[in-house]
Amino acid sequence: MITQRLPYVPLLLLFLSFFIVNSTCVDGVIAISERKKFKEVWAENNLSELPYNLLSWPIIVCLAWLYTKYGASGAFALAVPLLGLRQLYKTNWQLEKTNQELLELMVAAIEARDPYTSGHSRRVAQNAKVIAQILGLKQSTVKRIEIAALLHDVGKIHEIFAPILQKPGRLTDEEHAIMQTHPIKSEELVSKVSQLRDIVSSVRHHHENWDGTGYPDGLAGELIPLASRIIMFGDTIDAMTSDRPYRKALSETAVREELVKYRGRQFDPRVCDVLLSSKRFAELFSHEAHQSLPHTQEIPKLQLAVHA
């Protein structure tokens, strides 16, 4: 039986080498194929798994030590609980995947009421994700913002909005007032899920303007949650880059001009500056072809000015 001391340093170097080479190759290919920065792709794919990878190092060393000390029976004694932990991790992963699919299903059910808005929430979520990454927010925060953006219009499933969303013409003042309650309805629904309570305020305030002229609470400046300010950008950009009955989708140049025009009025000026100066700004225009949106699709004040 081998009883010599384990070469801990070489083992650690071997583990780190494998992790670095493997993640670099895989994420490098992804970055090239999707035309993204390698650093951002690597962070997205590895940071959440990093604790598990770090924890696996001492477990590997312990398993090797048990094998050299007690043979196969010693290694088997550790392997059994490891298999249990693996199954627990797999179950948690499957649960997270199921939760995400349920969120997607709920959003799809809402958008099914109006085929013109199909994919809107998912595009806004993607926009918000890219913007949050451009701002340099940590991966866990980016994920929560992405979920909040996906659910920002979930309140529109309420029956009071059905006839308005299906109306072919322009809205009356009363109908506008009703539509402006949808962030509150969205908040009410999201707050019923305990695991989503941290994004409730982000959902409620996604129509607040930087200068305080938004709704439902008229918040201004830094009082508006950062996530809500990011969703405002993602929501407005998707509205501007979607065809409407009365105009074609705006170009990247036209969108840039509108963001500059309403900087400090509707939009957070700091976020606006960082976004417009980023090379990743073009990613917000690389989604699949946008669907046409009807007159009744609720849009930020910016869009009212654009097509006035």
**SS3 of 244, please?**
strand
Question: Please, which residues have CB within 8 angstroms of residue 123's CB and are 6 or more apart in sequence?
Answer: 234, 238, 287, 290
d(CA 228, CA 148): 8
Instruction: Look at the chain and count its residues.
Output: 308
Q: Please confirm, yes or no, whether 69 is among the known catalytic residues.
A: no
Closest by CA to 146, choosing from 124, 118, 166, is 124
Alpha helices in the chain (DSSP H): 8-34, 38-46, 50-70, 72-111, 120-134, 139-150, 162-165, 173-179, 182-190, 200-204, 226-240, 252-261, 269-277, 301-306
Six-digit token string for 98: 């199921």
Task: Return all residues near 142 (Cβ < 8 A) that are at least 6 apart.
Answer: 129, 132, 133
Q: Tell me which of 39, 90, 143, 156 is the catalytic residue.
A: 156
| CA distance readout (Å), 120 to 29, 158, 178 | 29, 17, 20
Active-site amino acid positions: 156
